[in-house]
Structure 1
Amino acid sequence: MTDYSKELEIAKQAAQKGSEIIRNYTSNQNFNIELKGKNDLVTDADLETEKVILTHIRNVFPEDQIMAEESAGERRVPEARTWLVDPIDGTTNFAHGFPIYCVSVAMWEHGEPKVGVVLEVGRDQLFTAQKGRGARLNGSLIHISRITDPADSLIGTGFPYRDLHMVEHYLDLFEYLMHNTHGVRRPGSAAYDLCCVAAGYFDGFYEYSLNAWDVAAASLIIQEAGGEISDWEGDDNWLFGKRILAGNKVIHDFLLNAVEEHFTPEERKAEK
């Protein structure tokens, strides 16, 4: 098994450097906010944080490719070593001074995640994973929930804010889960939500209209914590398919069945 310890260390360093920039902006509340699209914000902090993270990675691995939220072009992960970076996952939360928001850094090779780091800035929670070596929170091993009765489960989700064409069915599913679980929570950062599944805070998670950099790091953290991750058809086109489910096998399959009942086959279909 290839040792990616150096890559993991650089990812952690990059995330920490990014968090320092974010905290500086948080303390003085002096930043510009722009719209990239409907309800899609970007701030000075996003841009400066991304620059610092990318510079740190390139200084150590100049030959590697990088795909980052504020500068991404390609919509597929090459076979070559590629870093996927979200400088602030939860920008809307950050822009309004509301927790939670994260730095997310992943390294993929041969089309698979090898290193994943998600740093929740406000509480300084560092979630990490290296392929084949488990998942950790601030250095301690974590594991997904062992709850197998959906009625006892707590589910995480994210509300769509750009793509609203499925919102009616989305709310129908939301109501169904309110009646058939302990509840549904929406922190506002998909990277953090997925890490909550890995740590057992959430028993499952579902969302649509996500991007690769939102899930590239946390997906490995879930897998290394013993969880399952898929698109809404139960397949593996979740990185760019914009539809994702996660949990232990029982809760994942419960959510998969619930999605099947509340969305049409076309709505469930992952994007190509």
Structure 2
Amino acid sequence: MHPMLNIAVRAARVAGQIILRGFENRSDLTKETKGVNDYVTLIDKEAEQAIINKIQQSYPDHSFLGEESGETHGADTEYQWIIDPLDGTTNFIKGIPHFSVSIALLHKGRLDQAVVFDPIRSEIFTASRGQGAQLNGYRIRTTKPKDLSETVLATALPFKEKAQFGEFALSLNRIFRECGDIRRGGSAALDMAYVAAGRMDGYWERGIKVWDIAAGELLVREAGGLVTDFVGNNDPMYKGEIVAGSPRVVQSLVKHLK
């Protein structure tokens, strides 16, 4: 395992322990509202700080971009860690056991290392650029369905921008008529990890943030998949929209999303 990936895995596990303790004591949670249908808890903040502290023990000069703490610049700006300490906070608050820790490392602007950790199932998805993707140490690959009729897809409703639901519903209707079925899990990082592991055949979402998808993007690419924006461009990380899956699935989804 790459040394930086090893540190990311350790950081994700430390955060996972904090999240599990919080999940077992949700009656004591204090949540804050960041925006419309957008929540944060002290657990999110504690987990993010624990991740940063763990990484800084080995790499004190690296930079960070965290969902809760924002962007901090270290002396070594070639390396930036992108962190979502608790992807699926609403599920966490409601007691739905489906959320994750997401950590990605950019090296000179390119995705280099990725970890998505599901602390409930103790599943850790990892990827290093050019080295493939793994689940708990075993190689994973995306599926290769012949067409959308064979697929189970993942997506998310535009719950923060409900005015966009009309446009979303039109594309959803077109995709649903062709695919096998659709799921809505509530954690973008896990959706992409599941695509990488072949549990889902494809995924699309709009209104997404870079910390939600950075680790997942590398996982899918290293598992043999394709990641684009809604018009098929291959650099979606900062676009606020994403399509992921095998090349054939992505091509079919983009056709309905353009």
TM-score (structure 1 length as normaliser): 0.90
What pairs up with 1:176-195 in 2 under 5 angstroms?
A: 176-195=174-193
Contact 2:229-2:241 at 8 Å conserved across structures: yes
> Could you tell me which amino acid in structure 2 is paired with residue 22 of structure 1?
I
Question: How far apart are residue 178 of structure 1 and its match?
Answer: 2.1
Question: How far apart are residue 99 of structure 1 and its match?
Answer: 2.3
Tell me the residue number matched to 1:236. Answer: 234
Contact 1:227-1:248 at 8 Å conserved across structures: yes
Counterpart-to-counterpart distance in 2, 1:139 and 1:149: 30
Counterpart-to-counterpart distance in 2, 1:79 and 1:207: 30
Unmatched 5+ stretches in structure 1: 261-272
Tell me the residue number matched to 1:8. Answer: 5
Contact 2:111-2:218 at 8 Å conserved across structures: yes
2:216 to 215, 218, 222: 218
What pairs up with 1:56-95 in 2 under 5 angstroms?
A: 56-73=54-71, 80-95=78-93
1:20 to 17, 21, 24: 17
CA RMSD of aligned residues (A): 1.4
Secondary structure of the residue aligned to 2:49 is helix
Paired residues in the alignment total 254
Secondary structure of the residue aligned to 2:103 is strand
Counterpart-to-counterpart distance in 2, 1:165 and 1:231: 21
2:111 pairs with 1:113 = yes
Counterpart-to-counterpart distance in 2, 1:226 and 1:9: 22
Percent of paired sites with the same residue: 33
Contact 1:177-1:184 at 8 Å conserved across structures: no
TM-score (structure 2 length as normaliser): 0.95
> Could you tell me which amino acid in structure 1 is paired with residue 15 of structure 2?
G
Tell me the residue number matched to 1:264. Answer: none
Question: How far apart are residue 71 of structure 1 and its match?
Answer: 1.1
Question: How far apart are residue 37 of structure 1 and its match?
Answer: 0.5
Deviations 1:87-115 (A, max 9, x none): 00000100111121000011111111110
The answer to which of 176-185 and 18-27 deviates more is: 176-185
Secondary structure of the residue aligned to 2:117 is strand
Tell me the residue number matched to 2:159. Answer: 161
